[in-house]
Chains A and B, each alone.
Chain A
Amino acid sequence: MLLQILVSGFLLGGIYALMASGLSLILGVMRIVNLTHGLFFTLGAYILFSFIIGTNVNPFIGMFFTIIVLFLIGSFLEWLIIKRIKYSEINMMVLTLALAIAGEEFIRITWGPKYLHIPPLIEGEIRLGHIYMPNQRILACFIGLFMLFLLMFFLKKSKTGKAIRMVQQIPETAALMGINVRAISMVVFGLGVVLAGAAGSLWAPMYITYPAMGWTPLLISFAIVILGGMGSLGGSILGGFLFGFATLLTSMYLSSGLVNVIPFITLFIVLLIRPSGFFGKDIF
């Protein structure tokens, strides 16, 4: 039984890590507390639904196009709205909250209030003795981790990635050295939206899709980002897995009703010991 919990916790942690990393990236580079994170998590699921059901396309191809659409939406939103008031942190929080609420209503109007089922990208399960692992969960976990490692590789090795890291560490100097900070902001916000939406589109086939589904993932993402260190992708990965295990161990050995409490209490304890989280502020 404990082994099943640990296996399921690991698979859940992969999704949590992907979910939180988008928030961490935007927070780390742009210093924005992005409350639209849950909205894009939800939008990712709905866009994937539209591709699969509307166009009957292969789910993996649908996911690929979902990512492209999300990147474009994120970059456009940054250019249109975010850049205009991002120098006021309070205004930014209010703006992103307003966008999140309006966005949820937009989803409800566009796709309706009904609960939707997105077919799994892959059916079946793997059984090892008493342990079972649905293939969709395995896929979601490993696609999530793959995307994160791809992102880390991009940030470490590519020219744009290095520029992003420079903007995150010394923004004023980056501008002086000719880095187009405006363009970097658009790319970063777009990437953050992609990570949130990808998590949503991997999550939705395992559960159910509805317009308000993004608020709990938003809360969990914040907790993971704080736990792992704001702006740290490595911290988000570690925090995601810890959260996955904490969630399942809490519901197994304490109470299902404490699932939303104990992980956050754990977070407070970690912050008391290490206020900057596990990995501090570096995005890599």
Chain B
Amino acid sequence: MESKRSLYIMTFLCVLGLILTIFCSSSIVSASDTLKLGVIVPLSGAAAEPGTRMLKAIELAANDVNKAGGVLGKKIELVVWDEEAKVDKALTGAKKLIMQDKVWGFVGGYRTGVSLAIMDVSADEKVLWMITDSVGDQITDKIKENYNKYKYTFRSQSPASDFARNGIPFLTDVVKTKKYFYVSENTQWTKSLGDALSKFATSLGIECVGTVECDPGATEFTSEIEKIRQANPGAVICSLAAAAGPAFARQYTEARINIPIMYCAGIMTFLDVVQGLGDKANYQCTMAWLWDIPVTPKTLDFYKRYTPYYARPGGSEDSRGYDGLMLVAEGIKKAGSFDVDKVVKALESIEYVGVSGKFVFTKDHQPKYGKGFLEPIIVQWLDKKGYVIYPQKLANSTFKLMPSK
């Protein structure tokens, strides 16, 4: 009797459990009216600052898409993962976003090493991966070597080789020199940039007379500045992207090195970072990705809306983060489907005018560089204000050499 009762109770519980499982599964499958995108960015650690800006830009883009009606009837829902600029954390996050959060694709990527690792997850799981900030050329190489496997990866950020080409106008058009010195971090992407810059420069008869590689967190640059003084180049190209950048800028001015310098990327392109340096940034130049100039009809509007939202425009994380998410949305709309293979095909033939410029992807899924596509802006700083000195069609000033005392 007792055993029969237990059996009935057990059977009832099993059936109840089965019904609940079916009900809940049905709810998850049928009630989804959002397009979930995983945002993989560093929000803590040394890269928290650019990661946060990237996230803000991506959020702004998602809000804009949703206000315009969403993507094929679905609103975008962002699921954010803090990868701390670490590969192991990024991989854990990517797997969790797919298995637990059921995201459709990924957006983000700051350090090249992290983005490379997620490319494999994207390939295995057939999930779109839109890289919005990593610049290492290894990403391009990986797609080139095995297109069928890595075709789900795209990049809204220019690769390091294009960053390097951005340095050329400074040498040829602004300063007009045949000798330069290269200051970099000892990181993967700046090594790529340095190699690419050297290749482009050599093809134009411009010589690199010296290089130094510093730790991204380095603070003391007396020796490096003395090396520059000894080498006596016509210009310096600097790719110290993180906290080392402002420290170097300050000491460069204090040392009264009267050699033009341009910063390729990083926080030295940010308005408030350079303004905080005050007169210690005078006459130094930075490459910018976004400025209050009409690069495209959409640029100024984005600049004005992003600034109050985050109060810090200027880096590539902002504009390319925004454009990256918009490209995903446009790709799905063009495909007319959420089928990732169809979206890949759509993106490969897309022509999209973003806030940074016109996006057309190469066969290696990199944004095309050059006139009519994505071009650099060079800004020179004087008394806390940045003046556009290149390209000439958008310039509001000319280059000025530091007066010698």
Interfacial residues, chain A to chain B (CB-CB below 8 A):
1, 4-5, 8, 12, 104-105, 108, 113-117, 119, 125, 132, 134, 203, 206-208, 210-213, 216, 247-249, 251-252, 255-257, 259-260
A208 near B247: Cβ-Cβ < 8 Å: yes
Complex interface residues of chain B between 13 and 55 (CB less than 8 A to chain A): 43-46, 48-49, 52
- Which residues on A sit within 8 Å (CB–CB) of B402? none
Q: A5-B223, A113-B49, A115-B49 are in contact. List 16 more A-B contacts (CB 8 A).
A: A113-B52, A114-B312, A115-B267, A115-B273, A132-B255, A206-B247, A207-B219, A207-B250, A208-B246, A211-B48, A213-B217, A247-B220, A256-B212, A256-B214, A256-B224, A260-B215
CB distance from A164 to the nearest CB of B (A): 32
Interfacial residues, chain B to chain A (CB-CB below 8 A):
43-46, 48-49, 52, 186, 212-215, 217-220, 222-224, 226-227, 229-230, 243, 246-247, 250, 254-256, 267, 272-273, 276-278, 312
B218 near A256: Cβ-Cβ < 8 Å: yes
Closest A residue by C-beta to B183: A256
Cα A105 to Cα B45 in complex, Å, equals: 9
- Which residues on B sit within 8 Å (CB–CB) of A248? 220, 222-223
A115 near B220: Cβ-Cβ < 8 Å: no
8 A-B pairs with CB atoms under 8 Å apart are A5-B222, A8-B222, A105-B44, A115-B273, A207-B250, A213-B243, A251-B220, A256-B223
A259 near B218: Cβ-Cβ < 8 Å: yes
- Choice from B52, B213, B229, B276 contacting A257 with Cβ under 8 Å: B213
B217 near A216: Cβ-Cβ < 8 Å: yes
CB distance from A3 to the nearest CB of B (A): 10
Given A125-B254, A134-B254, A260-B215; A115-B246 close (CB under 8 Å) = yes
- Which residues on A sit within 8 Å (CB–CB) of B267? 115
CB distance from B217 to the nearest CB of A (A): 6
- Choice from A4, A114, A117, A125 contacting B222 with Cβ under 8 Å: A4
CB distance from A18 to the nearest CB of B (A): 15
Given A1-B230, A207-B247; A212-B220 close (CB under 8 Å) = no
- Which residues on A sit within 8 Å (CB–CB) of B227? 252
Cα A255 to Cα B214 in complex, Å, equals: 9
Given A8-B222, A207-B219; A257-B186 close (CB under 8 Å) = yes
Cα A132 to Cα B229 in complex, Å, equals: 14
B218 near A114: Cβ-Cβ < 8 Å: no
- Which residues on B sit within 8 Å (CB–CB) of A260? 215
- Which residues on B sit within 8 Å (CB–CB) of A1? 226, 229-230
CB distance from A118 to the nearest CB of B (A): 9
A208 near B48: Cβ-Cβ < 8 Å: no
